[in-house]
């Protein structure tokens, strides 16, 4: 018998906090959603945070209030970080590198981007990415400062919750996509995460990450041009082209979505992170109606490993 548990995903979108509680049993179901203003701006303050920072108490208060207000029950908690205070990129590698050797090489790469900052100050993860049409081997690398990890561990401890994962918001949203859009497991899909300052663009081939880039631009008017720029990059690299574009993150006006489709020539829609989820708790209809900003929190809470 599968032991059920409640996993709380926490994300930060446009200086607001999003919570999603997923009940894991025979099948996952949505137990609760919550949202409020954030007193801690992780996008700006993230690089300065530590486990003993005064902002620990601030975030604990924000989360405690939000959890109590929405009567959220949870057993474990995970956090989806915005991209601004972390290092995330896809870099070319020697195809023979893997495992510890690959991570060591990625630590060296990281030191080139942050000269004078010890790589021991970062938690680094590196995963090879594959696209049969790509011209060379590449690896996806993420570097998160240890101080930020310790900060979140302190927050979880004060909430009396076990921390399960720390992830990047855009890549948490990919989990939402795989569950709610199972057709993406057999197709090539472009996931565009909309934030102030630009878009996160990740190419999923058969549901697996094949490429990632951040493309800058002002919200919301530059979004179509940013998407077209990324499509041009894929063509120049001879990579797989998507059959569908799916937006998540900040809510876009309908005309911007239509313009993106016109400029890229690709069918475009907005992510519904609840499309295939049963709902077992009381959830505000306004959250369900415009839920793309919850994609990261939902995807994170869906994770079991």
- The CATH number assigned to the domain holding 41 equals 3.30.420.40
Give the residue from 145, 167, 191 where a domain finishes. Answer: 145
Mean pLDDT of the chain: 91
Domain check: are 168 and 258 in the same one? no
261 in the same domain as 189: yes
Q: Show the 3-state SS of the chain.
A: CCCCEEEEEEEEECCEEEEEEEEECCCCEEEEEEEEECCCCHHHHHHHCCCCCCHHHHHHHHHHHHHHHCCCCCCEEEEEECCCCCEEEEEECCCCCCHHHHHHHHHHHHHHHCCCCCHHHEEEEEEEECCCCCCCCEEEEEEEEHHHHHHHHHHHHHCCCEEEEEEEHHHHHHHHHHHHCHHHHHCEEEEEEEECCEEEEEEEECCEEEEEEEEECCCCCCHHHHHHHHHHHHHHHCCCCCCEEEEEECCCCHHHHHHHHHHHCCEEEECCCCCCCEECCCCCHHHHHCCHHHHHHHHHHHCCC
Q: Which residue has the higher pLDDT, 77 or 43?
A: 77
Assess whether 193 and 262 both reside in one domain: yes
**For 2-31, how does the pLDDT look when each residue is reduced to its tens digit (9 = 90+)?**
589 999 999 998 789 999 999 999 999 999
Q: What is the pLDDT of residues 235-276, one digit of tens each?
A: 998 899 999 999 999 999 999 999 999 999 999 999 999 999
If asked whether residues 288 and 164 sit together in one domain, one would say yes
Task: For residue 12, give both structure tokens.
Answer: 């930060």
Q: In this structure, are 151 and 165 located in the same domain?
A: yes
Query: For 122-149, what is the mean pLDDT?
Result: 82
Look up the pTM and report it. Answer: 0.92
Same domain, 151 and 69: yes
Q: Which domain holds residue 118?
A: 87-145
Q: 41 or 53, which is more confident?
A: 53
Indicate if 139 and 243 belong to the same structural domain: no
Same domain for 116 and 218, yes or no, is: no
Number of folded domains that form the chain: 3
């Amino acid at each position: 018998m599968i032991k059920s548990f409640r996993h709380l995903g926490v994300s930060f979108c446009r200086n607001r906090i999003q919570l999603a509680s997923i009940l894991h049993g025979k099948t996952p179901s949505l137990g609760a959603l919550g949202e409020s203003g954030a007193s801690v701006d992780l996008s700006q303050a993230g690089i300065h945070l530590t486990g003993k920072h005064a902002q620990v108490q601030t975030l604990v208060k924000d989360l405690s209030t939000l959890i109590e207000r929405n009567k959220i029950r949870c057993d474990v908690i995970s956090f989806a970080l915005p991209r601004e205070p972390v290092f995330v990129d896809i870099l070319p590698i020697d195809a023979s590198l893997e495992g510890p050797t690959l991570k060591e090489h990625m630590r060296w790469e990281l030191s080139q981007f942050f000269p004078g900052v010890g790589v021991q100050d970062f938690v680094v993860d590196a995963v090879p990415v594959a696209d049969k049409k790509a011209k060379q081997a590449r690896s996806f690398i993420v570097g998160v400062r240890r101080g930020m990890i310790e900060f979140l561990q302190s927050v979880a401890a004060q909430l009396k919750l076990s921390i399960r994962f720390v992830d990047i918001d855009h890549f948490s949203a990919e989990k939402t996509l795989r569950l709610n859009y199972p057709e993406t497991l057999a197709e090539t899909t472009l996931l565009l995460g909309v934030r102030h300052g630009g878009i996160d663009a990740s190419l999923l081939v058969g549901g697996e990450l094949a490429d990632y880039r951040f493309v800058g631009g002002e919200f919301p008017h530059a979004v179509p041009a940013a998407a077209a720029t990324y499509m041009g990059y894929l063509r120049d690299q001879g990579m797989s082209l998507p059959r569908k574009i799916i937006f998540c993150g900040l809510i876009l006006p309908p005309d911007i979505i239509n313009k993106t489709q016109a400029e890229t020539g690709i069918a475009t829609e907005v992510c519904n992170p609840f499309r295939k989820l049963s709902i077992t708790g009381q959830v505000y209809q306004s959250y369900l109606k415009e839920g793309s900003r919850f994609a990261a929190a939902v995807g994170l809470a869906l994770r079991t490993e």
